[in-house]
Structure 1
């Protein structure tokens, strides 16, 4: 029996790409710059997994996502020949704290919360996730970050650590995510799995994930559909 739902956040709960593109456009306008900001956003996000992998392999000491994001941003700005002050870079980097939810996220989470404990299980650091929830009105029961375990997903310590903090067996915790690799790792750690399709995460024209062979416990079109399937 599932008692708690743990949600991946970037891409699953919030539309990071549209939010970051809008922030970059405002940044460019403030400096009188014209760039391919959607491509810049994609490259910023593309640096996320390799940076985390360096931490996971021990090549970098434990580093928060905020700091990894900033290092990637500084490199991208340098490569693009864009000069900005430290305060301008800091403010732009905090765009990840201001991501907008998908249209169904708040309504779906509110329904799911009526029956289940709902929490984040994100690689985002605790302050980022808390600020995001406050701004976007995300109704979490609690905010759990990989920062608490010093292990980024897909390390099993993140999934098992979440279950341990909630004082429930892994089988009573279900990960909800739009990313099959995250769900496969959660399943290997003994968690339930719910795939929620977010075909626009990487923008129009992106090929959706094919999860037909993954046999996740639930496959849903959005959080409202997930609530329907889970009887909330």
Structure 2
């Protein structure tokens, strides 16, 4: 797809928040490092956070596939952190688990993101569609300090991304056709979910990874948010 098609048709840039707008891995490693050291755990804090995030992702996908009542993001997070610490042999309290998961609300943007989003905002409305709970996303505003036109939690759809209902519900709430939205994510699964639901998709390839083979490739692939803004504004 040409950039001109995006410029001429897209009304909203819609963003994943955790890991795309805010630096989740880096931010959580910074918090986990002193915590794990105090616990006497000598493993790699980056690996600990990766295990935490992968366990959270797996549990949220299971929750979406069960088609039961939607489990809050925070609760999935508590389970994931507790499970990883159990596997690592780390003794902990429930308060410590809650504190670690609560740090997600305080994450800061990647360095280039505020300026890039300000540039995108000159042409498009900016919206977040996040797996986070509504109250977590509300609290996060005071930390990331980015002005979005709207912040939507998947709780509105009752399922985690990449369930099709999350993207269709977001478009419905905005009163837009699916292809008038460019979904922007640092995660392949999120780009694939949005594209398969009918949105356009932009992959922020921060780690220079090949995008997997899929019938739903991103419409644009760039290394940073600045490159996206430069390309489509």
* TM class by smaller structure: 0.7 to 0.9
Structure 2, unpaired ranges of 5+? 1-8
The residue that corresponds to 1:218 in the other structure is 220
Match of 2:12 among 4, 9, 26: 4
Give the Å deviation of 1:89: 2.0
The residue that corresponds to 1:121 in the other structure is 129
CA distance in 2, matches of 1:215, 1:76: 32
Give the Å deviation of 1:96: 1.3
DSSP 3-state at the match of 2:96: helix
The residue that corresponds to 1:209 in the other structure is 210
- Give the alignment's Cα RMSD to 1 decimal: 2.1
The residue that corresponds to 1:146 in the other structure is 154
Match of 2:94 among 53, 63, 86: 86
Structure 1 pair 212–81 and aligned structure 2 pair: CA distance change class (3 A)? closer
DSSP 3-state at the match of 2:198: coil
The residue that corresponds to 1:51 in the other structure is 59
The residue that corresponds to 1:136 in the other structure is 144
| Count of aligned positions | 224
The residue that corresponds to 1:227 in the other structure is 229
Is 1:99 paired with 2:146? no
Give the Å deviation of 1:165: 0.4
Structure 1 pair 59–218 and aligned structure 2 pair: CA distance change class (3 A)? closer
CA distance in 2, matches of 1:142, 1:158: 15
**Residue by residue, what CA displacement relative to the aligned partner does 1:98-128 show, whole Å, maximum 9, x if unpaired?**
2221111111111112221111112122222
DSSP 3-state at the match of 1:47: helix
CA distance in 2, matches of 1:58, 1:212: 26
DSSP 3-state at the match of 1:45: helix
Contact 1:120 1:143 in 2 (8 A): yes
TM-score normalised by the chain length of structure 1: 0.88
Structure 1 pair 216–76 and aligned structure 2 pair: CA distance change class (3 A)? closer
CA distance in 2, matches of 1:182, 1:59: 19
Structure 1, unpaired ranges of 5+? 200-206
Deviates more, 1:51-60 or 1:38-47: 51-60
DSSP 3-state at the match of 1:88: helix
**Residue by residue, what CA displacement relative to the aligned partner does 1:61-100 show, whole Å, maximum 9, x if unpaired?**
3111111011111122222232223222211111211222
Is 1:63 paired with 2:65? no
